[in-house]
Structure 1
Amino acid sequence: MSRLQGPNSLKRKRPGSTSDSLTEHERTVHDVIQGKQDMGISQRDMKREINLPDNLVTKCLKSLLAKNLIKEVKNIQSRGRKHFISVEFEPSNEITGGAWYVEGSLDTEYINVLKEQCWRKIYGLKVATLEGVTDAIKRSNVSQIELSKQQVEEIVKALVLDNEVMEVKSSGTGEFASIPVGKVCYKCIGKRGYGGEPKFGAMASIPCGVCPQISHCTPDGIISPKTCVYYKKWLDF
């Protein structure tokens, strides 16, 4: 489903009551999952916590899914493992990757649309603050999800890496007259113009620029350039 042009649809579900029809084993499995709240738990980790045979845990999970008491979610940190969360919770950004991911995959189409829109706003304003770009994006209703200032900053930083936008500080004079001295601002590089082809810098299209997990990315960690399929694709390109 497209996340462009529409009201915010991400709403947290209210906690509901557990069905009285659960078996003892189903209740045990459900209690473990519910106790993990918005982080959920993988099936493998669950088997470590519950002293039940693997086939019984699997059977309980299928039953809880059928009764709509739990849901399976994509975990970007462990794509090969089944991950479950209680239905009254929405998975944390650490699990889903946040606004830039859909079902565990980086939503490059959505990111590119937002990059184009941010570039247009900066181009139209000549000199723009992050607050100005964020406000313009919100008023444009281009995104179904209401973007935070931090998320807009991630997009603008990606444009800087792409060498399409430069980061400058206000001098308080001339084109910066309405902006406090020293405040970080953004200007477009060159005259691409609306509908023109984008300029590509050395870091163009690298996924790291908009990855919400970049602060957790380490050479030998769970999140690593060695295991990142998007980074590998970028290198191959």
Structure 2
Amino acid sequence: MGRTPDLKRKRPISNSNSPSLTDSERVLYDLIKSKQDMGIWTRDMKRETNLQDHVVTKSLKSLQAKKLIKEVVNVQNKLKKHYLAVEFEPSKELTGGAWYVEGNLDTEFIKQLKELCSRHVFKMKVATTDGITESIRRSGVINVECTTQQIAEILRVLVLDNDIMEVRSTEVGEFASIPLGTVCYKCSGKGGPTGVSKTGAMVSIPCGVCPRISECTPDGIISPRTCLYFTKWLDF
């Protein structure tokens, strides 16, 4: 006749150098580890294991003390206790990505990067995301590594705020060193990052660098009415 397992009985985990676990600890540890970088909420642990609340609470404390799991903040719901195996870093769905520190939006870092990006665009006149990222890295102003993706997100915010404008290279004039069609950024006409006034939005009109401007007519095949760059410029 079968015997009901004793949850207090210890048994070693696969790694002989690791601390021994009770059956309930092993069940929870295996479940948490299986969730990898997404981890799992305590309520879901109880639902999936059918362990009693006090057993789950005690086992989690023991697993943390043995440094096998860690609690992480879920930015979607900070009241939820979320756990990961220690070998995994939490996914950005949990942490909110690079813009969050311990579950809180890092507004000062975002503000600093916005100012830096704006200044570098102003200094470089016309710049790509990669160019701005490299320029900021070389400046050494910030002591953390910024990814191209982070800079791209900041540039998008600046575009939406109308602090800078997004254009595409025509390989003519100021775009001569940038491959045709590459997304670039320029200061908008409302002024530089340090308050230096501009001559107005007309300085950045795409017609001024268009190689086919001589062929452009209101009702022609090449026309301001059908020009994507002109339409986007008008939106600003």
In the superposition, the TM-score normalised over structure 1's length comes to 0.71
User: Does residue 1:123 correspond to 2:126, yes or no?
Assistant: no
Task: Kindly state the Cα deviation for residue 112 of structure 1 after the two structures are TM-superposed.
Answer: 0.6
Distance (whole Å) between structure 2 residues aligned to residue 96 and residue 83 of structure 1? 11
Task: Kindly state the Cα deviation for residue 126 of structure 1 after the two structures are TM-superposed.
Answer: 0.6
* Contact persistence 2:115–2:193 (CA under 8 A): no
Q: 1:153/1:54 Cα in 2 relative to 1: closer, same or farther (>3 Å)?
A: same
Q: Which residue of the partner structure matches residue 106 of structure 1?
A: 105
* Contact persistence 2:113–2:154 (CA under 8 A): yes
Distance (whole Å) between structure 2 residues aligned to residue 187 and residue 18 of structure 1? 58
Q: Which residue of the partner structure matches residue 83 of structure 2?
A: 84
Residue-pair matches, total: 181
Task: Kindly state the Cα deviation for residue 192 of structure 1 after the two structures are TM-superposed.
Answer: 3.0
Q: 1:142/1:48 Cα in 2 relative to 1: closer, same or farther (>3 Å)?
A: farther
Task: Kindly state the Cα deviation for residue 161 of structure 1 after the two structures are TM-superposed.
Answer: 1.1
Q: Which residue of the partner structure matches residue 154 of structure 1?
A: 153
The 5 Å alignment of 1:56-75 reads: 56-75=55-74
Q: Match of 1:78, SS?
A: coil
Moved more, 49-58 or 183-192: 183-192
Q: 1:79/1:122 Cα in 2 relative to 1: closer, same or farther (>3 Å)?
A: same
Q: 1:55/1:18 Cα in 2 relative to 1: closer, same or farther (>3 Å)?
A: farther
Task: Kindly state the Cα deviation for residue 193 of structure 1 after the two structures are TM-superposed.
Answer: 4.1
Q: Which residue of the partner structure matches residue 201 of structure 1?
A: none
User: Does residue 1:186 correspond to 2:202, yes or no?
Assistant: no
Q: CA RMSD in A?
A: 2.0
Distance (whole Å) between structure 1 residues aligned to residue 16 and residue 127 of structure 2? 49
Q: Which residue of the partner structure matches residue 96 of structure 2?
A: 97
Moved more, 171-180 or 126-135: 171-180
Moved more, 50-59 or 183-192: 183-192
Distance (whole Å) between structure 2 residues aligned to residue 154 and residue 141 of structure 1? 20
Q: Which residue of the partner structure matches residue 30 of structure 1?
A: 29
Q: Who wins on radius of gyration, i.e. which is larger?
A: 2
Q: Match of 1:72, SS?
A: strand
Moved more, 98-107 or 21-30: 21-30
Task: Kindly state the Cα deviation for residue 182 of structure 1 after the two structures are TM-superposed.
Answer: 2.2
- Of the two structures, which has the highest relative contact order with CA contacts closer than 8 Å and spacing of 6 or more? 1
Distance (whole Å) between structure 2 residues aligned to residue 118 and residue 81 of structure 1? 36
Report percent identity of matched pairs.
Answer: 59
5+ unaligned residues in a row in structure 2: which ranges?
1-14, 197-236
Distance (whole Å) between structure 2 residues aligned to residue 127 and residue 28 of structure 1? 57
5+ unaligned residues in a row in structure 1: which ranges?
1-15, 198-237
Q: Which residue of the partner structure matches residue 20 of structure 1?
A: 19
Task: Kindly state the Cα deviation for residue 171 of structure 1 after the two structures are TM-superposed.
Answer: 2.2
The 5 Å alignment of 1:154-173 reads: 154-173=153-172
Which amino acid is 2:145 matched to?
E
Q: 1:126/1:140 Cα in 2 relative to 1: closer, same or farther (>3 Å)?
A: same
Distance (whole Å) between structure 2 residues aligned to residue 163 and residue 35 of structure 1? 45
Which amino acid is 1:45 matched to?
D
Q: Which residue of the partner structure matches residue 201 of structure 2?
A: none
The 5 Å alignment of 1:198-213 reads: none
